[in-house]
Amino acid sequence: MSKRPSRGNTVLLHLGLVVLILGGIFPAVWLFLTSLKLDGELIRLPITYLPDRPTLLNYVAVFRDNPFGRFVLNSLVVSLGATLICVLFAALAGYALARLRLPGRKAIMTGIVMTSMFPALVLLVPLYRLFVGEEVGFLSALFGYLEQLGFGFLPSVVSTPNLLNTYAALIIPYVALSLPIATLILTSFFQLIPIDLESAAMVDGSSRTGALFRVVAPLSAPGIVTAGIIVFVNSWNEFLLAFTFNTTLNMRTIPVGIILYQGEFSFDWSIISAALTLGIVPLVVLIIFFQQRIISGLTAGGVKG
C-alpha cells in the first residue's frame, strides 16, 4: 500500500493482478471457447482448450431450437420496465429522504433497509397466489352490499387479475426487490448535491417543485444512471420468481429459458454455452462502459447499509 513500491513488489503486484484478471474472466472465456466447438470435439479426450475448427453453428442452433430471440426480448422488456419504474420511485423517495425534514425519516429509512433483507424466497408463495388471482375479501363484501342496494352490474366476487405469464408478474416484484438498494444509492447521491443550488433557484423566483425539476433533476442524472444499471443487472439476473411465474415458452426470460433448455439431445453443452455467452454479452458491455459508476453505486448502497 506504500506509494512507491520497490521493483520486486511491483512485479509481484502485477502478477497478482494478472491472476485476478484470469480468475475473474476465465469461466466466461471458457464458455465462449466451448460455444465455438462442435459436439464431437466436446466429448473427445483429452479435452481441447482452443477449438479445433471454430464454428458459429451453435449460435445458429440457439435461435433455431428455441425462441431465444423471444427470451432476450422478454428479459429486455422486464428489466427495462422494472428499471424505469424502480428508479423513478427511488428517485422520488431518495429526494424526500435526503432533503426534507420529515418526522419518522430515520424509521422509514430503517424500514426500507430492513425490507432489503427479506429473502425473495419468502415472497414466492404469497405473490404466486396474488398473481394467480386471489379474492379480495373486503371488496367482495363491499360489492355484495352494494348489489343489495341495487347496483346489480357489479361483479359479486372481486379478485386480483391473473398475472401469471405476463410481464407485470415480473416487473412488479423486481421493482420492489431493487427499490431498497436504489433508494439508498439515490439518497446518498442527493445528499451530495449542494442544497444551495436549490435555494438559489428558489430565491430567483422558482417554486419549490420548479427547483426540483429544473435544478435537481438534471444534476441527479449520474446517480440515476448508477442506480439504473444496478437495478437492471439485478432484474436481468433474477431467476427464482421468473422460473415460478413465467413458465410458458414465450414468456421465459433468458435464465429461465436456458435452465429449461429443450435441446434435441439431453443436455447440449456447446449450445448451452452459446446461449450463456449471448446472455452475458449485454452485461459485459455494461461493465466495460460503466465500471466506475457501478462500483460507486454498489459502494454507496453498501456503505450506507
Partner 1 sequence: MAAHSKPSRPVAPYRKPGFWRRLRSGNPSDVQLGYLLLAPALLTLALVMLYPVLTVLWQAVHGEHLLRPWQGSPFVGLEHFQKMLWGRNMTWDLGHLSGLRLLALAVVAVLWWQVSRGRLGRGVALGWSLGLLLVFGVLMGFHPGEGGRWGDPRFWNAFNITLIIMVVSVIGSFVVGLPLALLANVESPLRWLGRVALLLPWAMPRAFTGLTFAWLFQSDYGVVNDLLGRLGVTALLQVLLDSQLFGNQGLLWLSREMPAIVAVNITLIWKTSSFVALILLAGLQSIDRSLYEAATVDGANAWQRFWRITLPLLRPAVAVALIFRTLTAIQTFDIPFAMTRGGPGRTLETLGLYVYNTVTASNIGYAAALSVSLFVISLLITIFYLRWIFTDE
Provide the β-strand partners of residue 159.
135
Among residues 124 and 154, whose Cβ is nearest to partner 1?
Answer: 124
Among residues 148 and 209, whose Cβ is nearest to partner 1?
Answer: 209
The answer to whether the beta carbons of residues 67 and 75 sit under 8 Å apart is no
Rounded to the nearest whole angstrom, what is the least distance from the CB of residue 135 to partner 1 in the complex?
13
Among residues 21 and 197, whose Cβ is nearest to partner 1?
Answer: 21
Rounded to the nearest whole angstrom, what is the least distance from the CB of residue 146 to partner 1 in the complex?
24
Among residues 121 and 149, whose Cβ is nearest to partner 1?
Answer: 121
Among the residues of the chain, which ranges form H helices? 7-35, 39-42, 57-65, 68-99, 105-115, 120-133, 137-148, 168-192, 195-203, 208-211, 217-219, 221-237, 240-245, 254-259, 269-304
Rounded to the nearest whole angstrom, what is the least distance from the CB of residue 29 to partner 1 in the complex?
10
Among residues 146 and 162, whose Cβ is nearest to partner 1?
Answer: 162
Closest of 79, 66, 37, 39 to residue 54, by C-alpha: 37
Rounded to the nearest whole angstrom, what is the least distance from the CB of residue 147 to partner 1 in the complex?
26
Rounded to the nearest whole angstrom, what is the least distance from the CB of residue 93 to partner 1 in the complex?
4
Which residues 6+ apart lie within 8 Å of 154 measured at CB? 143, 146, 147
Amino acid sitting at position 184:
L
